[in-house]
Amino acid sequence: MFDQIILSSALISAVATAFIAVATIGFFMIYLKDKSRSRYDDLHNKAMISEIRASYESQLRGLTKELMANEDRWKEMNHLLISSQKTVREVDSKAPTDSTKFLRGMGISQGEMAVNPKLVLVLMPFNSEYDKLYEVISSVCRRSGLDCVRGDEERSQGDILAHIIRLMVKARVIIAEITERNPNVYYELGIAHAMDKSTILIARDLNSVPFDIQSLRIIVYQKLELLRQQLSEALLQVIAARPND
């Protein structure tokens, strides 16, 4: 009788052990299957993102090519760059760099180089799509006791670049909208940096901003109402950092 009990116990133990082994193998197989599926999903998603990005880049190249398909369109897209070449003056390569030579080449006299402590210049594409954005920026500036002007707001006879540079020289702060990688805006922004102007960069998203300037402080806005608070704080910080400008 005792031997039968031991035999039954051993049998039950063997069956239990076998069941646990089968269950463990089953769970392990399910884990491997889920992990394999997860890895497949990750690869699939990455492939889709890569394909979408390639499609967007192809469309952008096509649009750029179309915009510059002829001389008139090329000049329209790069009018500030062309304008700057017309004002270049030959200088002695051994002489030290003097920014005032560049300004004089633009027809800006020494008396026009004084900074207006209340002036803010906004750099953005000459496009009506940015009118609402400019209204928001302008209202924020007014609330901060500052005067805001857009490069194309005051129609100027003659060289538009010289007009913008003249405003830039007088401005205490430069606000640049850099989302679309507009060549004119980037050219103007480069000049502002060379002048050591206080600048505030804004963009709708970072993905459209060149990687080499993504490390700079950029206000990313998706809604104009959110931009109001962010821009107001940025203006106060910039002015506080350089109170003597």
Looking at the whole model, is its pTM more than 0.85?
no
Highest mean pLDDT among 21-30, 74-83, 158-167, 187-196: 187-196
> 183 pLDDT exceeds 50?
yes
- Cα 140 to chain centroid distance, Å, stands at 21
* 117-152 pLDDT per residue, tens: 999 999 998 888 899 999 999 999 999 999 999 977
> 29 pLDDT exceeds 80?
no
3-state class of 219 per DSSP? strand
Q: How many Å is the Cα radius of gyration of the chain?
A: 32
> 37 pLDDT exceeds 70?
no
> 34 pLDDT exceeds 90?
no
Burial string for 75-110 (b: 16+ CB within 10 Å, else e) reads: eebbebeebbeeeeeeeeeeeeeeeeebbebbebee
Mean pLDDT on 86-103 = 53
Strands, E assignment, 102-213: 119-123, 147-150, 173-177, 198-203
